[in-house]
Structure 1
Amino acid sequence: MVELPSGEVRPLYLTKDSPFTPVASFWIDTLPVTNKEFADFVQQHSAWRAEQIPALFAEAQYLSHWPAGGPTPQQAAQPVTYVSWFAADAYCRAQEKRLPSVSEWEYVAQASEHSANGLNDPEFTQRILAWYARPATAELAKVGQGIANFWQVHDMHGLVWEWTQNFNSALVTGESRGDSALDQGLFCGSAASGSADPSDYAAFMRYGFRSSLKAPYTLRNLGFRCAYSPEEILK
């Protein structure tokens, strides 16, 4: 894990004049959780095995990419996918951690290789958008193969989408009158793609994906990593 200092993150797809959201100092995994790590977890916590998990907590394809004996050696260092929010949350809690909040995830993800905030770097934003535009591949790369960002965190973009603690809540101002500044044009795909600020469209894509999720969903391109705040007492 790596510790990030307190800071702030711009609310998703609001105007540049919108108030920034403060983010307290926290720790986050430098890599997504791998198949091997998750397999060790389900071996120790049998309730989260594919054959035992209740349908309420995961769709039928939960861990369906694993053979009967668990992940193959080739899959071991790949990010775990086909895992629900409930299972990801249970894994993090078993490590005495938690899933990162949307604001924490966005705070880490806005860093390019050279800056804590790379949203004004057109090359950085275009790389993100290029990944969003690529079809999902059947075979995922191993974690940690790309260049680390400014915080030395890998794979925030370009490998898999990731669960967050409050995935179904918008990172907006939290106050309805303030949210009147929302750029409604970004709800139209053609308008969003033509946005003067490509980072707006990248944020729109993440918000759109998260808002489509439900906690039991298990997708082939959706994984997770854990976070931790020292002052928290996890129950």
Structure 2
Amino acid sequence: MFDFLKKKTEETALIETVEAQRDFTNSIGMEFLYIDGGEFMMGRNPQYNEGGDVESPEHPVKISGFWIAKYPVTQEQYFKLTRVNPSYFKNDKVEEENSRRHPVEQVSWFDAKGYVELINRYEGKTRFYALPTEAQWEYVAKAGGNTRFTFGDSEAMLDDYAVYEYTANVRTATVGTKQPNRLGIHDLMGNVWEWCEDDFFANYNSAPSDGSPRIGGAEGESFKVRRGGSYKTGYMCLRSSFRGYSRPDFISNDLGFRLVINGDPLH
């Protein structure tokens, strides 16, 4: 009797459990959110008449679901595994009592990859944590749309969402200071540039359509992609489709990274 109620209760509990498991905190306190897979248009939206060849041609990319960190890697998280803090903005160079929640910076692409290897080893994983591919990063930044910025089209709202040249006071800020985008991800615009996995190519001709990193070839050997702008940059660098690049050994006090998880952290 009332078996149908029992069944309904079990189904409801299952649904609630699934919904509750869209966030995950790892062993060193990094918070991740699950991003559903889907298809989006990568590259500059022609209607805005900005971006040029480096963001062209606009092309469809189909991406599988993945987890992305809510914030860039912080100085505290970087130090916990490496026992060093290479950042410039620490001690007397920040407004807070300490800089532990500021993003780590002055890390090269090689340093970021080294950290990925460390955290995978620390948690007993293999190819689990990673730098985001350029497609993953832009997919999250566009957040289900194709607007200029991660929140919409108007630069008038940037002060609410970005630590950049007009809001930064010439330094990084504590992660999460500004509003998140529609997916709940913070600091995609400004604060620090974020390294991606990909080699840099001058356009999207022959780019992957499955969200995988674009690696190799003569053109792609010298530079790595970085995304999102920083506390130093103007608003044009904060656009969702804007592409920066640097040599993989380059370091700067406005260049850091965030992590993705390309697996299931709940099992």
Give TM-score scaled by structure 1 length.
Answer: 0.64
8 Å CA contact 1:83–1:223 kept in 2: the answer is yes
Q: Which residue of structure 2 lines up, in the alignment, with residue 33 of structure 1? A: 73
Deviation at 1:153, TM superposition (A): 1.1
Q: Which residue of structure 1 lines up, in the alignment, with residue 247 of structure 2? A: 214
**1:158 matches 2:190:** yes
8 Å CA contact 1:102–1:171 kept in 2: the answer is no
Question: CA distance change for structure 1 residues 216 and 66 in 2, over 3 Å: closer, same or farther?
Answer: farther
8 Å CA contact 2:142–2:240 kept in 1: the answer is no
Amino acid at match of 1:221: D
* 1:86-97 equivalence runs, <5 A: 86-96=110-120, 97=129
- 1:13-47 CA-partner distances (Å, limit 9, x unpaired): 3647943122221111111110111111212xxxx
Root-mean-square deviation (Å): 3.5
Distance 2:170 2:236 in 1: 28
Give 5+ residue unaligned stretches, structure 2: 1-31, 48-56, 121-128, 208-234
Q: Which residue of structure 1 lines up, in the alignment, with residue 34 of structure 2? A: 3
Instruction: Indicate the SS of the match to 1:92.
Output: helix
Deviation at 1:163, TM superposition (A): 0.7
8 Å CA contact 1:5–1:26 kept in 2: the answer is yes
- 1:56-90 CA-partner distances (Å, limit 9, x unpaired): xxxxxx545557xxxx9511110000111111112
- 1:75-113 CA-partner distances (Å, limit 9, x unpaired): 1110000111111112123222010000000111113xx
Give the aligned length: 182
* 1:87-126 equivalence runs, <5 A: 87-96=111-120, 97-111=129-143, 116-117=144-145, 119=147, 121-123=152-154
Give TM-score scaled by structure 2 length.
Answer: 0.57
8 Å CA contact 1:9–1:106 kept in 2: the answer is no
8 Å CA contact 1:125–1:199 kept in 2: the answer is no
Question: CA distance change for structure 1 residues 167 and 106 in 2, over 3 Å: closer, same or farther?
Answer: farther
Distance 1:3 1:218 in 2: 30
Question: CA distance change for structure 1 residues 18 and 145 in 2, over 3 Å: closer, same or farther?
Answer: closer
Distance 1:149 1:158 in 2: 13
**1:12 matches 2:43:** yes
Q: Which residue of structure 2 lines up, in the alignment, with residue 57 of structure 1? A: none
Max radius of gyration: which structure?
2
Give 5+ residue unaligned stretches, structure 1: 44-48, 51-61, 176-197
Instruction: Indicate the SS of the match to 1:36.
Output: helix
Aligned match for 1:226, one of 244, 259, 265: 259
Higher relative contact order (CA 8 A, sep 6+): 1
Q: Whose strand proportion is higher, 1 or 2?
A: 2
8 Å CA contact 1:86–1:216 kept in 2: the answer is yes
8 Å CA contact 1:101–1:167 kept in 2: the answer is no
Q: Which residue of structure 1 lines up, in the alignment, with residue 158 of structure 2? A: 127
* 1:187-202 equivalence runs, <5 A: 202=239
Distance 1:130 1:95 in 2: 28
Instruction: Indicate the SS of the match to 2:67.
Output: strand
Instruction: Indicate the SS of the match to 2:249.
Output: coil
Instruction: Indicate the SS of the match to 1:165.
Output: strand
